[in-house]
């Protein structure tokens, strides 16, 4: 493999895989028939799988990795001499899925062609390969066979199931049907069901295979040739859809007219054509066309529902914790699909859910690639450590943004203490603009157990997940659509109101989602600020919360206590409590003319 190959190989899940047999594969054969979800049964099934690390004495450190359509059991190399695995960057000693700590199991899926029972296997009934007689496989059937495998391995409950794309479909199925058998789930770059666009690409690929004159209705095993053109065409379509337009341009735009002279029959006028032709042909060497049809159809038939209600119903079993990850440039399994999953999981409301839409330019393949691994790897590692109980509630961050208008640092976030004091330990709480989770930690210390944060900053999400705090990645300006009516006892918006563009929509949404809301903000009518404008003729600027210039301050909303009270009155919002503080005067609570004498206000409001 030359340098060019090496550079290009990591563009999809399995360009790294040769057709050679894998050295570390184990197999187990089940003689009890597997009754298939959509009819038919397989009298005997074999699972090819690989394991990494050691199962601990309590048998509770097992992580099941589910592969995507063209993957196999070889998720990582077992040693330095071993062939590269499809997720070597994430699985191994000291890596994200740390095989020094976790016992990793990766089985080839049902219907595949890399050791587990699939259409190319000999049917015990006929003595010939199943071919087109192989019963229709669903993601449910794949997972049912995975359950047999973990039974065989003596594992009662997995620590986690992890997978991207169709691997993510398997993860979702684990959550829907086997919540008692797994503690936490990490679906990556996946969807509750395929978009019409993704479905359409699959269909065109299958049409190319089915219409290939060498397909012979799936009975090509006995012929001289395989339906290689059709399978290669299908693979080419897949390849394009796995990458973002930016990633394709980055790889091929500069060398557009310098194709490589690869030994294939496909068009080689452009470099991207020679690449697609080469990859397509290479895929034919190692993959079975009937398996491709079976697996792509399983993906196309996977369907947890097209409506919110159906999806909630599908995922209502609960009992598992979730970390859902999407990638910004993934157009095949778009972030909106992951948000639908998160939406439904939040609505079932019985276990913590975290979500992050990770910035990547790589497209759908991002979950296999290194470029955004620092974020999604940290998220997975933090979540696994949390599941394994290795996380200990950290002390609140030393670093966080100032609370006071005037003082850049306080030993304590005294406003947090006041807010925490307004919450009962039994109440469920959502913290909007949660940052790295300091207020959530304070609530946790207060005894609150049902807490979720929301923030727009990805590093804040990583930090929260690293502390075992459930957190949702969302832009408050887009509202709280993910959350249901009255879903939380208390919704907090601490020192964030003045930074929001869509104030009215957010407040309306807070009041819809929270039975009570607690809002804190700096009071721009505080006497010292009034004087700054009145006497100096300058936009207020102080060392603390307002330590920004007029042209770059995040505080784009200038409001006063009187303005907020007027706003509440106009909108028919009930004010239950107002706490006005003068942070300049030792956080004294102000009763007399708060709009003049307080620099910080905390309101408890409801509809």
Residue 401 bears catalytic tag: no
> Which ranges of 23-165 would DSSP assign to H, the alpha helix?
139-152
Closest separation in Å from C-beta 407 to a copy of itself: 22
Element spanning 92, H or E: strand 91-92
Residue 475 bears catalytic tag: no
**By the rule CB under 8 A, 266 interacts with a copy of itself:** yes
Closest separation in Å from C-beta 601 to a copy of itself: 12
Residue 477 token pair: 């300006």
Residues 193-222 that bind a copy of itself (CB under 8 A): 195-197, 199-201, 203-204, 206-208, 210-211, 213
CB of 329 closer than 8 Å to CB of 244: yes
Closest separation in Å from C-beta 251 to a copy of itself: 7
Handedness of CA 574, 577, 583, 584 (dihedral sign): positive
Closest separation in Å from C-beta 166 to a copy of itself: 17
Q: What angle do CA 420, 421, 426 make, to 5 degrees?
A: 75
Closest separation in Å from C-beta 100 to a copy of itself: 41
Rg (CA), the chain: 28
Residues 18-57 that bind a copy of itself (CB under 8 A): none
**By the rule CB under 8 A, 596 interacts with a copy of itself:** yes
**By the rule CB under 8 A, 568 interacts with a copy of itself:** no
**By the rule CB under 8 A, 252 interacts with a copy of itself:** yes
Name the residue nearer to a copy of itself (CB basis): 59 or 548: 548
Residues 271-300 that bind a copy of itself (CB under 8 A): 272-273, 276-277, 297, 300
Residue of 67, 169, 364, 386 with catalytic role: 364
| Rounded distance between C-alpha atoms, residue 338 and residue 500, angstroms | 25
CB of 71 closer than 8 Å to CB of 88: no
Closest separation in Å from C-beta 399 to a copy of itself: 25
Name the residue nearer to a copy of itself (CB basis): 4 or 390: 4
**By the rule CB under 8 A, 86 interacts with a copy of itself:** no
Options 3-11, 59-67, 382-390, 561-569: segment touching a copy of itself (CB under 8 A):
561-569
Residue of 72, 88, 212, 330 with catalytic role: 330
Residue 165 bears catalytic tag: yes
Name the residue nearer to a copy of itself (CB basis): 103 or 521: 521
Instruction: Count Cβ neighbours within 10 Å for each residue of 110-134 and write b for 16 or more, e otherwise.
Output: bbbbbbbbbbbbebeeeeebbbbeb
**By the rule CB under 8 A, 587 interacts with a copy of itself:** no
Residues 445-504 that bind a copy of itself (CB under 8 A): 501, 503-504
Residues 313-372 that bind a copy of itself (CB under 8 A): 331, 334
Residue 446 token pair: 């207060």
**By the rule CB under 8 A, 539 interacts with a copy of itself:** yes
Contacts of 32 (CB under 8 A, 6+ apart): none
| Rounded distance between C-alpha atoms, residue 139 and residue 170, angstroms | 6
Size of the site for a copy of itself (CB under 8 A): 73
Long-range CB pairs of 268-273 (<8 Å, 24+ gap) are: 272/248
| Rounded distance between C-alpha atoms, residue 400 and residue 380, angstroms | 24
| Rounded distance between C-alpha atoms, residue 41 and residue 44, angstroms | 9
**By the rule CB under 8 A, 421 interacts with a copy of itself:** no
Active-site amino acid positions = 165, 330, 364
């Amino acid at each position: 493999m030359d340098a060019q190959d090496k550079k290009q190989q990591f563009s999809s899940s399995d360009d790294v895989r040769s057709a050679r047999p894998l050295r570390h594969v184990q197999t187990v054969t089940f003689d009890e028939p597997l009754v298939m979800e959509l009819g038919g049964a397989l009298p005997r099934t074999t699972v090819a799988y690989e394991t990494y690390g050691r199962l601990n004495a309590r048998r509770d450190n097992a992580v099941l990795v589910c592969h995507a359509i063209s993957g196999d059991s070889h998720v990582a190399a077992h040693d330095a001499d071993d062939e590269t695995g499809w997720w070597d960057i994430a699985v191994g000693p000291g890596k994200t899925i740390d095989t020094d700590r976790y016992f990793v199991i990766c089985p080839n899926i049902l219907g595949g062609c890399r050791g587990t029972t699939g259409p190319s296997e000999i049917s015990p009934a006929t003595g010939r390969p199943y071919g087109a007689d192989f019963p229709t496989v669903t993601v449910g059937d794949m997972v049912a066979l995975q359950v047999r495998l973990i039974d065989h391995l003596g594992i009662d409950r997995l620590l986690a199931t992890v997978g991207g794309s169709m691997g993510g479909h398997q993860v979702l199925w684990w959550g829907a049907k086997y919540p008692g058998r797994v503690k936490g789930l990490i679906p990556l770059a996946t969807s509750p069901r395929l978009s019409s666009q993704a479905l359409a690409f699959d269909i065109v690929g299958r049409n190319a295979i089915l219409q290939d004159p060498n397909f012979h209705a799936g009975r090509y095993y006995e012929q001289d040739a395989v339906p290689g053109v059709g399978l290669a065409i299908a693979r080419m379509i897949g390849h394009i859809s796995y990458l973002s337009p930016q990633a394709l341009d980055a790889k091929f735009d500069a060398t557009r007219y310098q194709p490589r002279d690869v030994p294939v029959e496909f068009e080689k006028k452009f470099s991207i054509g020679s690449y697609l032709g080469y990859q397509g042909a290479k895929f034919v060497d190692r993959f079975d066309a009937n398996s491709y049809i079976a697996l792509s159809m399983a993906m196309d038939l996977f369907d947890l529902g097209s409506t919110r209600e159906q999806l909630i119903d599908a995922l209502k079993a609960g009992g598992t914790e979730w970390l859902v990850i999407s990638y910004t440039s993934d157009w095949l399994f778009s972030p909106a699909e992951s948000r639908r999953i998160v939406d439904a999981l939040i609505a079932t409301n019985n276990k913590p859910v975290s979500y992050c839409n990770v910035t990547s330019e790589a497209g759908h393949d991002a979950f296999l690639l290194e470029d955004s691994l620092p974020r999604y790897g940290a998220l997975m590692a933090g979540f696994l450590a949390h599941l394994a109980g290795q996380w200990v509630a950290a002390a609140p961050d030393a670093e966080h943004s100032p609370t006071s208008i005037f003082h850049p640092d306080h030993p304590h976030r005294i406003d947090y203490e006041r807010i925490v004091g307004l919450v009962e330990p039994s109440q469920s709480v959502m913290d909007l603009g949660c940052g790295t989770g300091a207020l959530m930690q304070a609530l946790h210390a207060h005894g609150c157990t049902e807490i979720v944060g929301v923030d727009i900053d990805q590093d804040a999400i990583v930090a929260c997940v690293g502390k075992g705090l459930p957190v949702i990645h969302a832009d408050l300006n887009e509202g709280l659509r993910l959350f249901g009516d009255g879903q939380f006892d208390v919704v907090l918006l601490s020192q964030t109101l003045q930074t929001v563009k869509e104030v009215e929509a957010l407040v309306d949404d807070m009041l819809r989602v929270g039975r009570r809301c607690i809002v804190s903000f700096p009071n721009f009518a505080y006497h010292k600020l009034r004087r700054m404008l009145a006497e100096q003729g300058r936009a207020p600027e102080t060392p603390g919360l307002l330590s920004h210039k007029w042209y770059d301050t995040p505080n784009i909303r200038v409001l006063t206590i009187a303005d907020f009270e007027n706003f509440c009155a106009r909108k028919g919002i009930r004010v239950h409590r107002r706490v006005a503080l003068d942070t300049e005067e030792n956080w004294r609570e102000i009763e007399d003319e708060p709009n003049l004498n307080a620099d910080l206000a905390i309101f408890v409001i409801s509809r």
